[in-house]
Amino acid sequence: MTLISRRDTLTVGLGAGAAMTGLAGTGPAQAQSRAPDVTLLLVNDIYKMGDEQGRGGFARLNAIVKAERARGTPMLYVHAGDMFSPSLMSGFDQGAHTVELVNIAPPDVFVPGNHEFDFGPEAYAARRREAKFAYFAANMRAADGSVLPGHEDGRIFDLGVVKLGVFGVALPNTAEVSSSGDIKFSPTMATVQREAARLRRAGADLVVCCAHTDRAEDLQIVRSRLVDVLLTGHDHDLAVTYDGRTVMVESSEEGYYVTAIDLTLGTTGDGPEKRVTFTPAFRVNDSRTVTPDPQTRARVQEYEKLLAQELDVVIATLTGELDTRTTTVRSQETAIGDLIADAMREATGANAAIINGGGIRGNKVYPAGHQLTRRDVLTELPFGNRTVVAPVSGADLKAAIENGVSQVEHRAGRFPQVSGLTAIVDRSRPAGDRVVAMTVGGAPLEPERIYTVATNDFMLRGGDGYGMLGSRVRDADLKGKLVASDVMVHARKLGSITPAVEGRIRLL
């Protein structure tokens, strides 16, 4: 499998015979020796309205979709999830603008990603009602076990030349990493086995799984041989593979690339044993090569004007470089993490503060001399999380830090950024037993003492495995100020910010 990651450039094999076939980047008009019978088109993990340096954004995405449809080949367009959040505008409208923009060139299938639930189940339901596209999630159920309104497990798309059995799989641990309320998520592989068998019994010639799952589960699905094609999201990789039996594709992030899988069909066997076969070819549409869709671009520009009036206000100046890259905030103490945690502790007077590195989303480096604006802060903190304070025992506070560093080698979003405490972490020790020393307020941690800890409401509800922070909370008041507001106040008070790390989390 050839895989281009937002984090690294990697090569990952599926075993002997794995190969990439027909990969090209010349856009929708890529010539082929034989016209394909069917095209599958995939996008995933697109949050930002506009493009960045001439690539990505909804206007370029919609231009690619419209061009692909204009080719005249029977097509299935799939969005594999994550668009309602996080973005600047979603902090104001909880993702409504993304639905409006996608409705201009709607997908045939939309699989909800974990970020669809960042504003809670009510906002999720509201966005679903606004959508002009179908929601597929065979492993999602309401609290009573019923199918959620407006959702379906899967269906057969009769494209004339082939019957595609298509089903959706949402991220099974969504409840842990987002705010999905009492919605239930069942395991991935049991869902794949059930739905693939059901659709084949119903007459599907080929089965397509549309999933928002991590790479480990993607590979399980491929190796199971239960489906013919896996269209996936969540890892933000550009990944294209075909091992002779199963196709797997992921289309990067932010609409930078939109992958088309052209299938040439055939048959094998006779009578009851007759089966449809396929040969795939891949075209990676580089969004830099297309002219943005005018209708979508005009609407994006209207939204951006509204944002500019509120957000382009300077609050502080950086005297050094400020790194907010995803790989950094999820793996080590950072100056941006210190700044945010300090702001929360200052705003509340708590003994300590702890936030999850995965809540910091700008993924950029601000140069020395940069004038920090409201827009920058909301770019870094787009989820609308609120600062809350909880009474936490020393033992639970240590457990929280253990949880935060338990997956540091995987750069998980739970990595802790802190204020008012220090921890020495031995990464060679097993997860859950890595913190070898810890202080709060400069004094050794007391396991029985009750400390006041500022955190965000997502974590207090148990997000990213931080359930221990809310163990002493009953009917907690989760209506504190926005974390972003606390940071804006703190930054404005400082005026000049000198980014530096202080050894709060020391990794051995």
Tell me, yes or no, whether 28 lies in a domain.
yes
Domain shared by 114 and 152, yes or no = yes
pLDDT tier at 298 (50, 70, 90 boundaries)? Answer: very high
* pLDDT digit string, tens, across residues 484-496: 888 988 998 999 9
Tell me, yes or no, whether 289 lies in a domain.
yes
For residues 123 and 3, give the distance between their C-alpha atoms in angstroms, rounded to a whole number. 34
Count helices and strands in the chain by DSSP H and E runs = 14, 30
Domain that holds residue 434: 312-507
Percent of the chain with pLDDT over 70: 92
Domain shared by 169 and 25, yes or no = yes
Domain shared by 29 and 80, yes or no = yes
Tell me, yes or no, whether 5 lies in a domain.
no
Last residue of a domain, one of 264, 279, 303: 303
Tell me, yes or no, whether 9 lies in a domain.
no
- Residue 69 makes CB contacts below 8 A (sequence gap 6+) with 75, 77, 105
Q: Which range, of 90-99, 214-223, 356-365, averages the lowest pLDDT?
A: 90-99
CATH code of residue 52: 3.60.21.10
* pLDDT digit string, tens, across residues 117-163: 988 899 999 999 999 999 999 999 999 999 999 999 999 999 999 99
Domain shared by 271 and 359, yes or no = no
Last residue of a domain, one of 257, 284, 303: 303
- Could you check whether the bond before residue 86 is cis, i.e. omega within 30 degrees of 0? yes
* pLDDT digit string, tens, across residues 422-452: 999 999 999 989 999 999 999 999 999 999 9
How confident is the model at residue 176, as a pLDDT? 78
pLDDT average, residue stretch 289-316:
92
How confident is the model at residue 328, as a pLDDT? 93
Tally the domains of the chain: 2
How confident is the model at residue 444, as a pLDDT? 96
pTM of the model: 0.73
Q: What is the mean pLDDT of the chain?
A: 89
- Residue 36 makes CB contacts below 8 A (sequence gap 6+) with 73, 262, 263, 264, 281
Tell me, yes or no, whether 10 lies in a domain.
no
How confident is the model at residue 22, as a pLDDT? 39
Tell me, yes or no, whether 4 lies in a domain.
no
Domain shared by 260 and 352, yes or no = no
Tell me, yes or no, whether 11 lies in a domain.
no
Domain shared by 244 and 333, yes or no = no
* pLDDT digit string, tens, across residues 78-132: 999 999 987 778 877 889 999 999 999 999 999 999 989 988 899 999 999 999 9
Last residue of a domain, one of 285, 303, 321: 303
How is residue 55 annotated by DSSP? B
Domain shared by 444 and 480, yes or no = yes
Domain shared by 269 and 376, yes or no = no
Cα distances (Å, whole numbers) of residue 432 to 61, 421, 426:
43, 18, 11
For residues 18 and 34, give the distance between their C-alpha atoms in angstroms, rounded to a whole number. 24
Domain shared by 318 and 363, yes or no = yes
CATH code of residue 327: 3.90.780.10
Domain shared by 385 and 473, yes or no = yes
Domain shared by 167 and 208, yes or no = yes
Tell me, yes or no, whether 2 lies in a domain.
no
